[in-house]
């Protein structure tokens, strides 16, 4: 069965960096684009970034462009997001998501990892 | 960016009620519209993809319709486990965007 397991969350001061990882299993990771989606405490869902199946293309939400970098290692079935210059407003649960189907809807979600940016 | 406007933001209903949630896109997204259910403390679950396709394992009391800019999620007979939050999302173009959510509460 498909499993996505995020790690790397924690408490970090504003301006510092953090790298999240997402270990994937149960499917052929190298054939799927992969996304990061976040959710601030008590708020709605917010798309962050996507990387193509082969790592050749990536897109970001305007709110993280220039600060976050999405990457993947298909040999390790792992997705990453490097988060630099973190802001208080980046505080959220970060989900790793695998799309599917014609509409590329979000079929599978990880359990999420909480990032808290606070001084 | 495509804005997704979901309404109502919350509603109160009883077990057995028929409930409709609407989602409006700021431009034509054909049928690239998805619905998710999220229970507290857990990741969202896909309910409906491509506006009207019921995801595997989702009960048939859930239904979706619409195309272009106007979409609806209908729950034909609310069950106790359905009292939670629902989101629409467009997958037509980047950046992908979500509606603000609808919280379904017990009357």
- Mean pLDDT computed over A11-22: 98
What span, in angstroms and rounded, lies between the C-alpha atoms of B79 and B6? 22
- Mean pLDDT computed over B57-64: 97
**pLDDT > 70: what percent of chain A?**
100
Residue A1 has pLDDT above 90, yes or no: yes
Residue A51 has pLDDT above 90, yes or no: yes
**Residues ≥6 apart with Cβ < 8 Å to B41:** none
Please judge whether A47 and B45 are an interchain contact, meaning their C-beta atoms are less than 8 angstroms apart: no
Residue of A nearest to B48 (CA): A105
pLDDT of residue A60: 98
pLDDT of residue A74: 98
Residue A38 has pLDDT above 90, yes or no: yes
Helix (H) or strand (E) holding A17: none
Residue A115 has pLDDT above 90, yes or no: yes
Please judge whether A61 and B95 are an interchain contact, meaning their C-beta atoms are less than 8 angstroms apart: yes
Of B21, B20, B19, B47, nearest to B34 (Cα)?
B47
- Mean pLDDT computed over A10-21: 98
pLDDT of residue A87: 98
- Mean pLDDT computed over A71-99: 98
pLDDT of residue A36: 98
Nearest to B49 among A35, A45, A103 (CB): A103
Q: Which of A44-57 are b and which e, b meaning 16 or more Cβ less than 10 Å from the residue's Cβ?
A: ebbbbbbbeeebee
Question: Which residues on neighbouring strands pair with residue B98, listed in sequence order?
Answer: B89
pLDDT of residue B7: 98
Of A73, A79, A72, nearest to A95 (Cα)?
A79
- Mean pLDDT computed over A29-45: 97
pLDDT of residue B90: 98
- Mean pLDDT computed over A35-57: 97
DSSP-derived 3-state class of residue A86: coil
CB of A107 within 8 Å of a chain B CB? The answer is yes
- Whether A29 and A2 have beta carbons less than 8 Å apart is answered as no
- To probe the interface with A, which of B40, B42, B45, B49 has the most A CB atoms within 10 Å? B49
When pLDDT is cut at 50, 70 and 90, the band that residue A103 belongs to is confident
Question: What is the distance in angstroms between the Cα of A28 and the nearest Cα belonging to chain B?
Answer: 20
CB of B54 within 8 Å of a chain A CB? The answer is no
pLDDT of residue A102: 86
pLDDT of residue A75: 98
pLDDT of residue A16: 98
- Mean pLDDT computed over A88-96: 98
pLDDT of residue B48: 97
pLDDT of residue A6: 98
Of B35, B37, B29, B100, nearest to B70 (Cα)?
B29
Average pLDDT, whole number, for chain A? 97
CB of B97 within 8 Å of a chain A CB? The answer is yes
Question: What is the distance in angstroms between the Cα of B42 and the nearest Cα belonging to chain A?
Answer: 7
- To probe the interface with A, which of B32, B96, B101, B103 has the most A CB atoms within 10 Å? B96
Residues of A in contact with B42 (CB under 8 A): 111
What backbone phi and psi angles, to 5 degrees, belong to A108? -130, 135
Residue A89 burial (10 A CB sphere; 0-12, 13-18, 19+): exposed
Nearest to A109 among B43, B49, B97 (CB): B43
């Amino acid at each position: 069965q498909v499993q996505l397991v995020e790690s790397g969350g924690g408490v970090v001061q504003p301006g510092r960096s953090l790298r999240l990882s997402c270990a994937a299993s149960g499917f052929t990771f190298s054939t799927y684009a992969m996304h990061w989606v976040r959710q601030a405490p008590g708020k709605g869902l917010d798309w962050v970034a996507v990387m193509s199946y082969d790592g050749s293309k990536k897109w970001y939400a305007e709110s993280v462009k220039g600060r976050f970098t999405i990457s993947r290692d298909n040999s390790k079935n792992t997705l990453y997001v490097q988060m630099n210059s973190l802001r208080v407003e980046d505080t959220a649960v970060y989900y790793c998501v695998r799309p599917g189907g014609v509409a590329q809807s979000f079929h599978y979600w990880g359990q999420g990892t909480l990032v808290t940016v606070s001084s | 960016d495509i804005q997704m406007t979901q309404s109502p933001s919350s509603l109160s209903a009883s077990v057995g009620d028929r409930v409709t949630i609407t989602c409006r896109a700021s431009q034509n997204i054909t049928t690239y519209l998805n619905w998710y259910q999220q229970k507290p403390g857990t990741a969202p679950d896909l309910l409906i993809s491509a506006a009207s396709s019921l995801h595997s394992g989702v009960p048939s009391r859930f239904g979706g319709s619409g195309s272009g800019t106007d979409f609806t999620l209908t729950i034909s007979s609310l069950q106790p486990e359905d009292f939670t939050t629902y989101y629409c999302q467009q997958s037509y173009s980047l950046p992908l965007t979500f509606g603000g959510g609808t919280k379904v509460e017990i009357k």
